[in-house]
Amino acid sequence: MKVICTLALLFLVGFHAVSQQATVKGIVKNEKGDTLTSASVFIPGRKIGTVSTSTGQYELVNLAPGTYSVQVSSVGYESITKKINVAAGETQSLNFILKEALYELQQVEITGRRETGYKNTSSFIATKTATPLKDVPQAVSYVTKELMQDQAAARVGDVVKNFSGVNQFTSNNDIAIRGFRIFAGNGTMLVNGLRANSSFWKQPPANYLERVEVIKGPVSALFGNASPGGTINRVTKKPLDQQKSSISFITGSFNTFRALTDVTGPMNESKTLLYRLNIAYENSQSFRDLQFEKNIVVAPSISFLPNDKTRLNFDLVYNKSNSRVDRGQSVFSDDLYSTPISLSLNAVNDRLNEEQYNITTSLTHNFTNKTAFNIAYIRTSYSEDLFEHRSNNTYAKDMLGNPVSFLIERQVFDRKSKELNDNLSAYFTHNGYTGPLEHKVVVGYDYAQTKLPVGSAQLTANNYLRKDGTTAAYRAIDSAKYVTYKYTTNVNGRDTTLTLPKPNVPTYDLAKNEHNMEDVSKYIYFQTANDATTPKLNFLHGAYIQDQITFGKLQALVGLRFEWFIDKAKYTTAQEKKVTQTAVLPRLGLVYSINKNINAYALYTQGYNPQAAALQSPTAGGPFDPLESKMVEAGFKSEWFHKRLSVTTSVYQVEQVNALYAAPAPAPQDSMVQVGKEESKGFEFEVVGQITDNWNVVLNYAYNDAKLLNAGGIDKPYIGQQKPNAPRHMGNFWTKYSFKSRALRGLGVGIGGNFVTKRFLSLNQAQTVPGYELLNAALYYRIDKFQIQFNLNNVLDKTYWVGGYDYVRLFPGAPRNWLATVAYTF
């Protein structure tokens, strides 16, 4: 009885204490009257705080009676503090109106993004200033960390389906935008708006990313030489001025295991020094034979904000990876379904060890409330230790030189290489008026350098053995010179005895599908010089000016860039070649505000990509002009549901000229002719954001007509045909709904799907991969600080291919698979 009385007394005391607690609530807006989402509302010096909802509302609960200082801050706005006195048990309203901060006009984000949904409001990539995406006269797509987390996306390649007009070219770090291929080596992958190299074989991890952005079309006027399809920018997570921490454990199909942690907050009471640290560990297998991933990622970030005029940020991303190169699936001749999608050509003793780091330092300083200076520098280093058995891109040959449909001719690469990149970007911004015209002027200079130092090398073993102990490509006319042997095997239930030329590296028998520890000491190697091992140095200088002019409802963007590009091949040898190319690149855009929800825009821009120095030799027919491109684009951008949801539609036409093709006879062998012209035109539609506070959605569709319009040599018959790995139609949707009712509170569901139509694997359109439709689903449950998440991908277990080069090198997508995540936030 005493115990019951004691418990009752404790309950009454606790109830009385709770009833005496106070509440402060209100709404956060900007000077225009727009509500601000994810503004930080907190009481300095105490662990009491929250963020505003999508309608700008906030609520601080369970406050003891007394006087408090309530501070509100939001990215792009000046912080504000108000005092309030609350009595026991009362609820008081305290509203805030934030003033836009001019120091946010910077190239690299210094402090972290506070928005917590699928929608992102501003971007630095499109104008090099913090411009609302609605006011950018060019299509920009993005995926936020929240969407990546909801889809359990581990790598950048996992999220490209969320971009209209973007698809994988292969399973490597190799993507197509509007029908044009981009990859780590052609200057179209950025980190924090700066040029950075990365692995071609493996897609970058996503755990340290705030978002992934794609700016569509040529962007050479902003960043220098780049692909005409577009540019991918990876924005790393930046520190927040609120203490937040999370840890996640992920397991699932293919023996997947990942451990992730993300901690951020202030390092001093004045919050002038902020930090963030992301760490990831991965040890996973694959549905592909002999493929695996072992990754360690360490990504610290520190921001120093001494005053409202100066901001400094330091970022480091270090990634150490152990895996194998996946060169794709091979099938019997033209039978796409003749081998399992798990089949690879690797040997057990293959390896790929990679080490990479990106170091970024950025500074922004306001001289006045109208003039600011921004400078950013990134150093990237990528090293590779590779040993692989791979196809020789063809089937093995019989004694008559005919291909054997079930045997793949293989070769071996043994390579060690290193690449260093430096990129410096510095510019001034100035806001001012000339009469009724408002100007936002950017004047800047870029320097970028790529260096393959001395010390890279590759040994190659391939071809067929000759009696004199050498190797050479097999020609039936010379068959008497080759060592031959009898090869007896059982194929498809039939005994087949074949006499074949003896290969230097054992062929791969698709019928047997066996993986062995190969005796590599028996191979005959020769030294190979290629782009990954030959010392080279290239660098560019770019000077540019840009003015964003506002006159009432009309905004104009006028930009011009002049660039010098210098390429030195074999720069440490007597055969050093130096090629210098220049380009003048305009960019003209218009934005018109039809009403408060809808903007119309139009854009004309040009781009270029220099030809490699190795192709400029007289034997190839050089020197050649650089690749040149231009784009015309128009569309509408709008925001709905109190700016929670954005809708973008665009039509475009991209042309690229000066592509190189093999010169037709009677031109000398290995010579090139510069007559190529490619065109891509189409329509894109994207919806991103929230319909309600608890309902997120992503929806996109793209139609792309990408063709070769002019060509020389052997490609001439393919004029007018769709480009390789460029689907005409593709689309995606994803939606997440979180229940609010008391019975289901904490529960959420997600469902999505994407489709891609048939693609050709080369200009020779005899080989194609079929279109596909995939369905994905997810289930979420949050209780207090814990979240449990379950993702099921490819629910219907469809067999499909994301891309490829031919039927010897196909890249299949994963079968049905699942991931379970347990996360704790504190």
* DSSP character string of 679-700: EEEEEEEEEEEEEETTEEEEEE
Which residues on neighbouring strands pair with residue 733, listed in sequence order?
699, 753
Q: State which H helix or E strand residue 231 sits in.
A: strand 230-236
Ramachandran class of 33: left when φ > 0, alpha when ψ lies in -120 to 50, beta otherwise: left
Q: What is the second-level CATH architecture of the domain 2-100?
A: Sandwich (2.60)
Residue 533: partners with Cβ closer than 8 Å, 6 or more residues away: 415, 417, 452, 456, 457, 458
Are the beta carbons of 168 and 811 closer than 8 angstroms? yes
Q: Which of 371, 375, 378, 379 is nearest to 444 (CA)?
A: 375
Q: Are strands 403-434 and 457-461 parallel, antiparallel or unpaired?
A: antiparallel
pLDDT at 533: 81
The CATH classification of domain 236-459+528-825, taken from the options 3.30.70.790, 2.40.170.20, 1.10.490.10, 2.60.120.10: 2.40.170.20
| Angle at CA of residue 723, ends 717 and 729, nearest 5° | 135
Query: Distance between alpha carbon 256 and the CA centroid of its chain, in Å?
Result: 22
Q: Is the pTM for the entire model greater than 0.95?
A: no
CATH topology identical between 2-100 and 104-235: no
Q: What is the pLDDT of residues 373-407, one digit of tens each?
A: 999 999 999 999 999 999 999 999 888 888 888 89
Q: Are strands 22-30 and 91-93 parallel, antiparallel or unpaired?
A: parallel
- How do the residues of the chain divide into helix, strand and coil, expressed in percent and rounded to 5? 10, 55, 35
- CA atoms within 13 A of residue 8's CA, in its CB half-sphere: 5
pLDDT at 663: 64
pLDDT at 106: 41
Tally: H helices and E strands in the chain: 3, 51
| All structural domains of the chain with their residue ranges | 2-100, 104-235, 236-459+528-825
The CATH classification of domain 104-235, taken from the options 3.60.10.10, 3.40.50.620, 2.170.130.10, 2.40.30.10: 2.170.130.10
d(CA 52, CA 186): 42
Q: State which H helix or E strand residue 175 sits in.
A: strand 174-177
Q: Phi then psi for 11, rounded to 5 degrees?
A: -60, -45
pLDDT at 186: 62
**Sequential DSSP letters for 257-308:** EEEEEEEEEESSTT--EEEEEEEEEEEEE-SSTT-EEEEEEEEEEEEE--SS
pLDDT at 105: 37
Which amino acid is it at 192?
N
Q: What is the pLDDT of residues 195-214, one digit of tens each?
A: 888 899 998 899 999 999 99
Which DSSP letter does residue 207 get?
T
pLDDT at 617: 61
d(CA 678, CA 602): 22
Q: Tell me which residues of the chain have a pLDDT lower than 50.
A: 3-4, 6-18, 102-108, 490, 492-494
pLDDT at 302: 96
Residue 422: partners with Cβ closer than 8 Å, 6 or more residues away: 377, 378, 379, 447, 448, 449
pLDDT at 9: 43
| Angle at CA of residue 650, ends 648 and 655, nearest 5° | 145
**What residue ranges in 570-596 does DSSP mark as E strands?**
577-593
